Amino acid sequence: MNRIFVDADACPVKDEVYRVADRYQWQVVVVANMWLRVPDHPRVSRVIVAEGPDAADDWIVEHAAEGDVVVTADVPLADRCVKTGARVLGPAGKAFTPSSIGSDLAMRNLMTSLRETGEIRGGGRPFSKDDRSRFLVALDNAVQAIRRTGR
């Protein structure tokens, strides 16, 4: 059975994931290093990993495979999951693909460096309704593509 893995810490689109997964009868695995409320549904499960900077990431990478979707804003995790063959989406609907992940990592590293040196301050723009809508479309498209191709 196909699964959607959610890197749940600070993920703003969990409800959207539940809706799409329910429509297609996919399993959802919510992964975090603390207890989070998830719907009481037989296809939704919660995995609580040990404390640690990459414990949730490591668990997701160990379990995600071709035919699964991973939802994360963490670009290094996206890179690792793309290498497993999973489809990876950011919460604003951005697809991380084998052809884009190199430049996504480079941009992430550049922005981290600029923040560390004080060249830029603050984070990105606030999450919007348009981001949520783009995510829904991207997730639906990813699930349909997997259903058509099996991967």
**Tokens 């560390």 belong to which residue?**
116
* Model pLDDT, residue 34: 92
- Residue 117 structure tokens: 């040196």
- The answer to whether the predicted template modeling score (pTM) of the entire model surpasses 0.75 is yes
Neighbouring CB atoms inside 10 A of 75's CB total 21
Task: Please write the tens of the pLDDT for every residue from 89-140.
Answer: 999 999 999 999 888 787 777 877 787 888 877 767 789 999 999 999 999 9
Task: Please write the tens of the pLDDT for every residue from 17-51.
Answer: 999 999 999 999 999 999 999 999 999 999 999 98
Which CATH number do you get for residue 82?
3.40.50
Question: Which of 3, 7, 23 minimizes the C-alpha distance to 136?
Answer: 23
Question: Which of 55, 56, 84, 85 minimizes the C-alpha distance to 72?
Answer: 56
Q: Which residues touch 27 (CB under 8 Å, ≥6 apart)?
A: 1, 2, 3, 4, 21, 43, 44, 45
CA distance 124 to 36: 25
**Tokens 């959802």 belong to which residue?**
28
Quick one: which H or E segment has residue 24?
A: helix 14-24
* Model pLDDT, residue 110: 81
Residue 11 has pLDDT above 90, yes or no: yes
* Model pLDDT, residue 96: 96
* Model pLDDT, residue 36: 92
Range of the structural domain that residue 100 is part of = 3-149
Count of domains for the chain: 1
